[in-house]
Structure 1
Amino acid sequence: MIAALVVAALPACSYPQSALAGDSAQAVEKHYSTSETEIGVLLDNPEAKAVLDKHMPGFTANPQVSMARGLTLAGIQQYSPDTVTDEVLAEIDADLAKIPVK
């Protein structure tokens, strides 16, 4: 009897939006970031792409950038530590924070 009441009450419960099944990480983000946002998402947003061009000239025009679309900038730092420095990532994050997620 108690189990039936609990099960009956479940649909009426309110869950936080982020707890719902099917939420994507991008939908939960409030802004783009170098550690959470995939490079492909940044490249597809003209404002975010401009930020990348500003801080890493030539990065978005590199023919190999398409291979990194599913990675984050923080994730590729290990492959290019001289270009993708902590300082550069911090500067990019500061600019990305000003761009609303679409």
Structure 2
Amino acid sequence: MTKTLFAAAAASLLLVGAASAQTAPAPAPEHASDHAHDEHHAQHPTIESPIEALLADPATKAVVEKHLPGMDKHPAYGQFKAMSLRQVAPYSQGHITDEKIAAIDADLKALPAA
């Protein structure tokens, strides 16, 4: 039942997010110099990245799997994979907590540059 509730909540969030994305201004283009001093974040996805980006990078996937095993096997993965962990957290029925996000973020920041 929890998976069904999570799937419904994720689907609702996806619809709301799609509607708000249509009215939001486009982000300013990033410049290479913006990340010149922070090669680590240019190399690996961050806590703010979409979940699918975190799971596509082997190093960051290991971090996510450590704290939230099987996320890519969740039945609603297709509905929430384009969202960040922070965006999905309120709809996770308590599975994605602020503490888990902080722990994942710390582990991501500790990764060596690729």
* TM-score, normalised with respect to structure 1: 0.63
Task: Give the 3-state SS of the residue equivalent to 2:76 in structure 1.
Answer: helix
Match of 2:16 in 1: none
- What are structure 1's unaligned runs of at least 5 residues? 1-20
Superposition pairs for residues 1-102 of structure 1, below 5 Å?
A: 22-23=29-30, 28=35, 30-31=40-41, 32-34=45-47, 36-99=48-111
In the TM superposition, residue 81 of structure 1 has moved relative to its aligned partner by: 4.5
Contact 1:74 1:89 (C-alpha < 8 Å) held by counterparts: yes
The CA RMSD over aligned residues, in Å, is 2.5
CA distance in 1, matches of 2:106, 2:94: 20
CA distance in 2, matches of 1:67, 1:79: 12
CA distance in 2, matches of 1:62, 1:101: 29
Q: Which has the higher helix share?
A: 2
Residue 99 and residue 67 in structure 1: after superposition, are their counterparts in 2 closer, same or farther (change >3 A)? farther
- What are structure 2's unaligned runs of at least 5 residues? 1-27
Larger radius of gyration: 1
Q: How many residues align?
A: 79
CA distance in 2, matches of 1:87, 1:81: 14
CA distance in 2, matches of 1:100, 1:22: 26
CA distance in 1, matches of 2:76, 2:113: 25
In the TM superposition, residue 68 of structure 1 has moved relative to its aligned partner by: 1.7
* TM-score, normalised with respect to structure 2: 0.57
